[in-house]
Amino acid sequence: MPRIDWLAIAPEVVVAAALLVVLAVDLFLPRERKYWVAALAVVGTTLAMVPVILMAVSGDNYSMFDGSYVVDEFALVLKGVFLVAGYLVLLISVSYIESDRYYQGEYYLLLLSSLLGSMVLTSARDLVVLFVALELTTGPLFLLAGWRKGDLRSNEASLKFFIIGVLSTGLMLYGMSLLFGLTGELSFDGIREAISAEGMASEPVLGLAVLLILVGFGFKVSAVPFHFWAPDTYQGSPPPVTAYLSVSSKLAGFVAMLAVIYLALPAVTDFWGPALWLMAAVSMTVANLSALRQSHLIRLLAYSSVAQAGFMLVPFAGGAIATDGLSEGLGATVIYLVIYAVMNLGAFAVVIAGGRRIGSYEIPDWRGLGSYSPRLGVMLAVFFLSLAGLPPLAGWFAKFVMFRAVLISTGPAGVWLAVIAAVNAVVAFYYYARVVKSAWFDPAPDEIPEETETGPTGPLSLAMGLALVVVLVVGVFPGLATFFGDAAAALVP
């Protein structure tokens, strides 16, 4: 039996235990007490933070199973981010799921399974562990997307997501098997060394493998042209699930991509550099132009998340262009991911809270929100304008490090990508501002929507409050966010 360091896998163990407890307790709880399940899930994710923090403080690295499973700074930082994002999604879910009153236990079970998958993912250092973890993250989401069984749109969402998900998995797996066949190695370190030892960085077959893997990741992070499932799935899924999809699931795709690209394939920049450059440029542009025409808030957020994925890909391209840009690019992407996770969850929390009161996600129906509910109105403005990247809200720093990472090389490729990103940032402002305009500039409807009484709103308010504090504090003291970037950048060999 291999040596197991229990502290190192304690976060995953806690989440797995919480998952099992949720499963067992759910069987014995009467229907009106089901909210205990939610409380257990929240407690579980909170407890899982403890070993993460302990390890972060001690600063030790752990390596298990012949280096397939590693807990280093990169892994710890992202475990923390996944836990916080999961925690916020749980808070957002409580009142929504409570008001539906069915399958509560199963909902939290599946959410925790997905969370467990993404936590394992951060430590995966070979292709098999990575693949299993990534599928554990995505699998439960196929079910969650179709949670509203009676709703045709929800069915469509789930089915589309499933078919595309399986297709992308297949392509990715094909790419991975090619990579294994070429190098004879599964671990990222082994692959990297084999590529440099054999001098096959420009082998066409390797290029094919890299491109297939990138296509798979492209689906996961919903980058153009692999994004077309996103708007329908986002719109059809229950909004808390959409929040999870747009943050944790996207994050998982990016984490896998970071690990594979920076650990296994840093020498193959000739293949993935231009591919990601193109993907970033096209994602930003296409998604932003499509978002301009949306009137459904969640669909708008779907396109916005595609565009944001484009922005997150920009530092990859920057890293590929500049010789010493790899760690800079990795740090920038991680900082962007962290800030995006918080502000996007905040935006979803506001949209869910407002949607419950207004009963519609159509932007014109939200007119005058600021006048009859200033609290929600302010939150809406803060999160959407932060997504737009306006100082002094946290989003500006994400955009700033993104530009910084791509301009580190003064070559024309980097400058052009920066210019494309700059123009896109301006275009994006227009549709975020449209929501703010509707809420603040347009007069309130004659019949002001009543405050709804169903279900607890405390957790939702807590989620919004936490996200608000982070967005404001990080906006003014962005040094707090650079910690994540610096810690993660240590990954680059």
Partner 1 sequence: MDLLDSWALTLIVFLPLVGALVALAIPKEREETVKQWTLLVSVVTLVLAVVVAARFDFGAAGGFQFEVDLPWISAIGANYHIGIDGISLPLLVLSALVVVLCVIYSWHHWDEPRNPRAFLVLMMILATGMNGTFVALDLVLFFIFFELVLLPMYFMIGIWGDRTMRKIPGFRKEVETRLYAAIKFFIFTLFGSAFMLLGFLALYFKSGSGGQQSTFDIPELIARGHLFQGTFAWLVFGAMFLGFAVKVPMWPFHTWLPDAHTAAPTVGSVLLAAILLKLGSYAFIRIAIPILPETARDWAPAIAVLAVIGIIYGSLACLAQTDVKRLIAFSSVGHMGFVMLGIATLTEVGINAAIIGMVAHGLITGLLFFLAGSIHHRYHTREMSRLGGNLKLMPVMGGILGFTAMASLGLPGLAGFWGEFMALLGSYQPLPGLSTSFFRTAMVIGAIGTVLTAGYMLWMLQKVNLGEPSSEWAGKEFHDVDRYEMAAWAPLIVLIVAVGVYPRLVLGATTDAVVGLVETAFRAVGG
List the one residue from 387, 396, 460, 467 that touches partner 1 (CB under 8 A): 396
Q: Which residues contact 392 (CB under 8 A, 6 or more apart)?
A: 472, 475, 476
Query: CA–CA separation, 22 vs 138, rounded Å?
Result: 20
**How far is CA 320 from each of CA 172, 271, 288, 326, rounded to the nearest angstrom?**
21, 9, 24, 7
Q: Does 300 bind partner 1 (CB under 8 A)?
A: no
Kindly tell me the number of DSSP H helices and DSSP E strands found in the chain. Answer: 20, 2
Which has the closest alpha carbon to 83: 136, 37, 47, 132?
47
Q: Does 62 bind partner 1 (CB under 8 A)?
A: no
**Of 216 and 325, CB closest to partner 1:** 325
Q: Does 308 bind partner 1 (CB under 8 A)?
A: no
**In the bound complex, what is the minimum distance in angstroms from residue 331's beta carbon to partner 1?**
8
Q: Does 296 bind partner 1 (CB under 8 A)?
A: no
Q: Does 469 bind partner 1 (CB under 8 A)?
A: no
**In the bound complex, what is the minimum distance in angstroms from residue 246's beta carbon to partner 1?**
24
Burial level of 412, CB count in 10 A (0-12/13-18/19+)? exposed
**How far is CA 229 from each of CA 226, 234, 387, rounded to the nearest angstrom?**
8, 8, 22
**In the bound complex, what is the minimum distance in angstroms from residue 58's beta carbon to partner 1?**
23
Q: Does 253 bind partner 1 (CB under 8 A)?
A: no
DSSP-based three-state secondary structure for 182: helix
Q: Does 338 bind partner 1 (CB under 8 A)?
A: no
**In the bound complex, what is the minimum distance in angstroms from residue 114's beta carbon to partner 1?**
32
272: tokens are 């993935």
**Of 296 and 437, CB closest to partner 1:** 437
DSSP output for 357-408? HHS--BGGGGTTHHHH-HHHHHHHHHHHHHHHT-TTSTHHHHHHHHHHHHHT
Q: 349 with 93: CB under 8 angstroms?
A: no
DSSP 296: B
Query: Of the ranges 1-9, 142-150, 175-183, 473-481, which one interacts with partner 1 (CB under 8 A)?
Result: 473-481
Query: Of the ranges 121-129, 156-164, 265-273, 386-394, which one interacts with partner 1 (CB under 8 A)?
Result: 386-394
**In the bound complex, what is the minimum distance in angstroms from residue 478's beta carbon to partner 1?**
5
Q: Does 20 bind partner 1 (CB under 8 A)?
A: no
Q: Does 191 bind partner 1 (CB under 8 A)?
A: no
**Of 92 and 481, CB closest to partner 1:** 481
**In the bound complex, what is the minimum distance in angstroms from residue 404's beta carbon to partner 1?**
6
Query: CA–CA separation, 98 vs 105, rounded Å?
Result: 11
312: tokens are 């997150």
DSSP 443: P
Q: Residues binding partner 1: what is the number (CB under 8 A)?
A: 32
Query: CA–CA separation, 34 vs 46, rounded Å?
Result: 19
Q: Does 403 bind partner 1 (CB under 8 A)?
A: yes
Q: Does 294 bind partner 1 (CB under 8 A)?
A: no
**In the bound complex, what is the minimum distance in angstroms from residue 423's beta carbon to partner 1?**
7
Query: Of the ranges 60-68, 74-82, 432-440, 446-454, which one interacts with partner 1 (CB under 8 A)?
Result: 432-440
List the one residue from 176, 339, 390, 420 that touches partner 1 (CB under 8 A): 390
List the one residue from 315, 366, 482, 488 that touches partner 1 (CB under 8 A): 482
What's the start-to-end Cα distance of the chain, in Å?
Answer: 30
Question: Tell me, what amino acid is at 152?
Answer: L
Q: 46 with 462: CB under 8 angstroms?
A: no
Residue 411's φ and ψ, nearest 5 degrees, are -65, 160
Q: Does 479 bind partner 1 (CB under 8 A)?
A: yes
Binding mask 341-380 for partner 1 (x = CB under 8 A): ------------------------------x---------
Q: 322 with 414: CB under 8 angstroms?
A: yes
Query: What are 70's strand-pairing partners?
Result: 63
Query: CA–CA separation, 383 vs 340, rounded Å?
Result: 10
Query: Of the ranges 12-20, 57-65, 291-299, 415-423, which one interacts with partner 1 (CB under 8 A)?
Result: 415-423
**Of 392 and 445, CB closest to partner 1:** 392
Q: Does 163 bind partner 1 (CB under 8 A)?
A: no
**In the bound complex, what is the minimum distance in angstroms from residue 231's beta carbon to partner 1?**
24
Helix (H) or strand (E) holding 63: strand 62-64
Which has the closest alpha carbon to 242: 316, 324, 297?
297
List the one residue from 18, 358, 418, 420 that touches partner 1 (CB under 8 A): 418
**Of 270 and 442, CB closest to partner 1:** 442
Return residues touching partner 1 (CB under 8 A): 371, 385, 390-392, 396, 400-401, 403-404, 407-408, 410, 415, 418-419, 422-423, 425-426, 429-430, 433, 437, 440-441, 477-479, 482, 485-486
